[in-house]
Structure 1
């Protein structure tokens, strides 16, 4: 049995309340941190996390067979390798690029305007619960070509799927709830997939339903898994990152003023938000053969988690890493949404997040809309900021006041 670190568990309430204050200790004193409750190792140094994410032979995604496949209803992109991964990833990526992306940006503007409209005259909005969560699901449904009238139902099912994937410990009751959500989502998608096979359109469900791999069409199970994969990838980080972006800019009024004056700085602000407070904080891998980190051997067969939040604040990778700085020279905005990104918010290597380019367009489009509307933006009186989540993390709410908008907003 590995030695247990004296530091409180990362599963503790104290860590959940403020993981950032423990990151330096983990990197310096326990870079290979064993968690007995989940029989897993936690890596926190940037070079170690990047190694795990990019060495696909030594560190596989086999853990997803238990962590994701039951609720995805089949294998997801991150489980695939070789020609299958290349072909299926290419099909999905086509839905996020070129003309498809331009259509999605128009839909993003329309969705954002529709959801935000009731709050503009009030001059007050919870950017997470009033706007971010419904918007993220709207945007994902637009990509897939699903009916936005069903967004609340789909959001509920998505919540159960995401809970299953991101929970480190589920009670039997919560596990059953999550699996029920996945089964209901699969049943909802089945007639849609059948209809798109008969009458394909320009949406991603149609592309997947009519695609072929090695000359053979994808099965309903294949399409369902990829659709749920896209739904989670498109919806899960969006509301968190939008809220975190505004939180950091409000906390740094000088940088907020500069971004208002020059929207060309938005990509840098988004990239720095992803580095500083990544919405996905943990990424698991299966150790295929004994591996040594910081003098400690992690045995073959073990589960290892890359602690993205700690890696993104490693002083070996970023100068003054605990400071939010949109002028940071060591981030590289142009590459921050690609596989060459210095930060690890989208993962790295072969299984880097398939929706990274879409996430940039989505968050950038929404932020560019909101900044001029949120004149004199500030926290609402009495608001107390709190983050939740260990695997994925973001604000529980972000209650903002701003100068009310009296004219209608046309996207």
Structure 2
């Protein structure tokens, strides 16, 4: 195919303002791009991104330089038996009876407390007042850490996400990320050691006591997992709430359908993950030369997988530029499992271990928000999205005045 447009630069200001038209050009004309500044190949078609997530030839070795400097070595960098063992050590806390009985009350309490605090504020910025705080507060409470430290964790979360989103390698952002890593370790390691001696009924105690075939997680591994949970669990839920509410407010008939039938919140979340996902790109590294649409990627190269582009692939979804929670080419029942037909949680062996936690937080939070806002509209027009690595509205001003 002869390209009609130059390959987009994903670090350009125009791309950051609105990547979706560029995603279309990439899928149609430039499915494989070498970006010199990022030293990475970029892929945008659903089938290619799915292959990068499922095919064992693609490794997560890129996390050695991408994540380890700020988190330490995490489960995302592990493979084979080591990965399977560590995933089993942590996964039980994020699904089934453990999630339902132990952590659902934590989620409900934190949602209620934040919503009680915004009831008398009208208009209110849902991002500042709820979305950015809710998942971080939940994680801190799940770990059994002091409520007085919510603000401290929110600051660490912001710093680490800036580090991970630092595609231009700004040295000040990198230095702040390193300081945060040291502060977080200095805070967490003594608590982990104390929790081993005096366990409680919390996630941190569960992680300290978890054992498979005589193997337990080290203090450093638990600290690294908590750091990863803080950002991965916080960022996805934070931005998903903001984007989901924006999508519903832009489609009043779908908002009213969800208001009338709260079981549709899961479908609205799944469609948001396809249409405007919290994380727009994830990197992988092939262990051998691999063929993708547009050419061959050499072994050892970094491949940037554009989830935001793949979710609107015309070859995979009907009318992909339209938000429609009732679409029949996206399964809500599979959307939060490794069989998902969207890519926002990855697929395969590194499918997001916290997917059900995120779903539970979204269902509880949005349900309570709708109860607290029987009438709601944008206070000052639809907000713009922002971000390249992760993306969502940075503000979401709404008011509850009658339409």
Q: Shorter-chain-normalised TM-score: which range?
A: over 0.9
Question: Is the CA contact (8 Å cut-off) linking 2:89 and 2:211 kept in structure 1?
Answer: no
Task: Provide, for residues 309-348 of structure 1, a one-character-per-residue CA deviation record: whole Å limited to 9, x for no partner.
Answer: 1101111111111110111001000000111111101011
3-state SS of 2:103 partner: helix
| Paired position in structure 2 for 1:108 | 107
Question: Is the CA contact (8 Å cut-off) linking 2:115 and 2:369 kept in structure 1?
Answer: no
Question: Is the CA contact (8 Å cut-off) linking 2:49 and 2:310 kept in structure 1?
Answer: yes
CA distance in 2, matches of 1:246, 1:332: 20
| Paired position in structure 2 for 1:27 | 27
| Pairs within 5 Å for 1:99-248 | 99-102=97-100, 103-248=102-247
| Paired position in structure 2 for 1:94 | 92
Task: Provide, for residues 104-161 of structure 1, a one-character-per-residue CA deviation record: whole Å limited to 9, x for no partner.
Answer: 2211121112112232123322111111111121011122222221011111112222
CA distance in 1, matches of 2:143, 2:168: 31
CA distance in 2, matches of 1:281, 1:63: 17
Q: Which runs of 5+ in 1 are unaligned?
A: 405-411
3-state SS of 1:222 partner: helix
| Paired position in structure 2 for 1:374 | 373
CA distance in 1, matches of 2:367, 2:126: 15
Check 1:213–1:165 CA distance in 2 against 1; reply closer, same or farther (3 A cut). farther
Question: Is the CA contact (8 Å cut-off) linking 2:30 and 2:294 kept in structure 1?
Answer: no
CA distance in 2, matches of 1:118, 1:209: 34
Task: Provide, for residues 221-259 of structure 1, a one-character-per-residue CA deviation record: whole Å limited to 9, x for no partner.
Answer: 111111212222221111111111111111111111111
Shift of 1:97: 2.2
Shift of 1:262: 1.2
3-state SS of 2:305 partner: strand
Shift of 1:372: 2.2
Shift of 1:403: 4.6
| Paired position in structure 1 for 2:13 | 13
| Paired position in structure 2 for 1:85 | 83
TM-score by length of 1: 0.93
Question: Is the CA contact (8 Å cut-off) linking 1:91 and 1:207 kept in structure 2?
Answer: no
Matching of residue 47 in structure 1 with residue 14 in structure 2: no
TM-score by length of 2: 0.95
| Pairs within 5 Å for 1:56-71 | 56=56, 58-71=57-70
3-state SS of 1:337 partner: coil
3-state SS of 1:7 partner: coil
Question: Is the CA contact (8 Å cut-off) linking 1:127 and 1:400 kept in structure 2?
Answer: yes
CA distance in 1, matches of 2:340, 2:240: 17
CA distance in 2, matches of 1:327, 1:384: 22
Question: Is the CA contact (8 Å cut-off) linking 1:92 and 1:204 kept in structure 2?
Answer: no
CA distance in 2, matches of 1:165, 1:179: 11
Matching of residue 393 in structure 1 with residue 391 in structure 2: yes
Q: Which has the higher mean CA deviation after the structures are superposed, 228-237 or 33-42?
A: 228-237
3-state SS of 1:335 partner: coil
Question: Is the CA contact (8 Å cut-off) linking 1:160 and 1:177 kept in structure 2?
Answer: yes
3-state SS of 2:333 partner: helix
CA distance in 2, matches of 1:287, 1:272: 30
| Paired position in structure 2 for 1:296 | 295
| Paired position in structure 1 for 2:310 | 311
Question: Is the CA contact (8 Å cut-off) linking 1:160 and 1:179 kept in structure 2?
Answer: no
Question: Is the CA contact (8 Å cut-off) linking 1:274 and 1:345 kept in structure 2?
Answer: yes
Question: Is the CA contact (8 Å cut-off) linking 1:375 and 1:403 kept in structure 2?
Answer: no
3-state SS of 1:42 partner: strand
Matching of residue 353 in structure 1 with residue 356 in structure 2: no
| Paired position in structure 2 for 1:409 | none
Question: Is the CA contact (8 Å cut-off) linking 2:244 and 2:269 kept in structure 1?
Answer: yes
Question: Is the CA contact (8 Å cut-off) linking 2:286 and 2:299 kept in structure 1?
Answer: yes
CA distance in 2, matches of 1:135, 1:264: 21
Check 1:42–1:331 CA distance in 2 against 1; reply closer, same or farther (3 A cut). same
Check 1:166–1:122 CA distance in 2 against 1; reply closer, same or farther (3 A cut). closer
